[in-house]
Amino acid sequence: MVCAGLREWLAVVEGPEADLTSAAVELVIAAFDGSLTDPGWPWVREADELGVFWLDPEPMAGFDGVGGDLTLLPVVEALLGGRRVPDLVQLLQRLDHGTVQLVLDAFTRASRWHRDIALYAFHGDPWAVSGWITAQRSRYTASTWTDTDTSRRAS
């Protein structure tokens, strides 16, 4: 019900904010099985119109540094016109591969017509950062495998 209500809200958002808001809504719906759209969260607000919900970026700042699903909140907040993502590299490193892909999808949606606004919100280009993180993870995995293989041979 909330997910449908959030999509109803998108129908009235216009201008440059439309792509950013749409990216935020689709991100919270898709990530973590929609757990961030629970009406008990302080950022999920019901509009005056019955069945329409909207996302309020202000309460999201109160969850800085909290892990788990809430790690994603700085991205959602930035897309909704709140603060910029403070450290995109660190944030993406804490997310699993599937969620990083959702963030990249959100960036693509947000930057469709206003790339400069999306780059500002993300405090950098997530595509470039994601490539760097993937390379670092691959290098770490390769070095761990090589270290394990070398220790097996020494035994």
* pLDDT tens column, 18-34: 888 999 999 999 999 99
String of b and e for 90-122 (b: at least 16 CB within 10 Å)? ebbeebeeebbebbeebbebbbeebeebbbebb
The pTM of this model reads 0.76
* pLDDT tens column, 60-93: 999 988 889 999 999 999 889 888 887 887 888 8
Q: What is the 3 state secondary structure string of 30-42?
A: HHHHHHHHCCCCC
